[in-house]
Amino acid sequence: MVTRNQARAGLAAPGSAPPGSAPPGGSEPGPRRRRADARRNVDALIEAARTVFATSGVDAPAKEITDLAGVGVGTLYRHFPQRADLVKAVVESGIDAVADAGPALSAAHESAEALTRWIERFTELLATKRGLASALHSGDPAFSGLPGYFFQRLGPALAALLDAAVADGTVRGDISAEDLLHAITQLSQPVPGRGPEHNQRTVAVLVDGLRCRATRQPPPR
């Protein structure tokens, strides 16, 4: 029992919860909630930056990004102290999304179709990097690890899809995933006077070529 003097002093009875503390089995602990909130803020900032960079360029004002993300400018600089940190996060996020799409595509489509759809997503990813080219080619050391990350994440994803299509005879087996990744990257380079649609058509010709000399044709749709 809490005495009147203990109540006035804000003291709890022995064995009771301290004033203001959450009851047992109550709400989620503060640190965990803060981590979840921080993760949501980071995700929102990356997605907002992706949109803003595509429309306003990589040097767009920070407030344009934070307004779209629904957070304050202080939150942006707490997570991404330099603009290069944000650009790097946007690029890595795009790479991760394409790499992680492989298993879902394999589960939903025949092997050759899954491979084709993945290559289309990969080509779209390369097209989005056009707006970031000035930053990525600036020589900033923050971007030095991106080429390695690019091949580390995308190489195995493409290899799994390609191997499955080769195994069932729907694409030719005389090209490696590494060679195919390099070929698509080269075909997706900007061409003066041509837009991303030109690159997509060129890559589509390459994809059609993968089906030539296959050991069997894909089943009719």
Give the per-residue pLDDT at 216.
64
pLDDT at position 6, please? Answer: 44
At 150 the pLDDT is 93
Where do runs of H (alpha helix) occur along 2-145? 4-9, 30-56, 62-69, 73-79, 83-108, 111-128, 133-136
Model confidence band, residue 41 (pLDDT cutoffs 50, 70, 90): very high
- pLDDT value for 71: 96
Strongest mean pLDDT among 16-25, 28-37, 84-93, 132-141: 84-93
**Spatial contact of 112 and 165, defined as CB atoms under 8 Å apart:** yes
Structure tokens at 114: 């899954």
pLDDT digits (tens, 9 = 90+) for 161-209: 999 999 999 999 999 999 999 999 999 888 888 888 888 999 999 999 9
Q: Taking the C-alpha atoms of 38, 44, 50 and 54 in order, what is their torsion angle to the nearest 10 degrees?
A: -140
Determine the pLDDT at residue 20.
Answer: 46
Q: Between the CA atoms of 199, 111, 96 and 151, what dihedral angle is there, to the nearest 10 degrees?
A: -70
pLDDT at 196 (0 to 100): 81
Mean pLDDT of 142-171: 95
Tokens of 201: 């058509």
Average pLDDT on 10-16 reads 42
- Residue 73 · residue 66 · CB < 8 Å: yes
Q: Which amino acid is at 160?
A: A
Tell me what the mean pLDDT of segment 48-58 comes to.
92
The reported pLDDT for the residue numbered 132 is 81
pLDDT at 68: 97
- CB-based contacts of 2, cutoff 8 Å, min separation 6: 11, 12, 13, 16
Interval 104-141: pLDDT, tens? 999 999 999 999 999 999 999 988 877 787 788 888 99
> CA-to-CA distance for 102 and 187, rounded, in angstroms?
21
Which domains are seen in the chain, by residue range? 32-81 (1.10.10.60), 83-211 (1.10.357.10)
Higher pLDDT, 116 or 11: 116
pLDDT at 211: 87
In this prediction, residue 7 carries a pLDDT of 41
The C-alpha torsion from 132 through 200 and 156 to 87, rounded to 10°, is 10
Cα–Cα–Cα angle for 131, 137, 141, rounded to 5 degrees = 120
pTM of the model: 0.78
pLDDT digit string, tens, across residues 61-100: 999 999 999 999 999 999 999 999 999 999 999 999 999 9
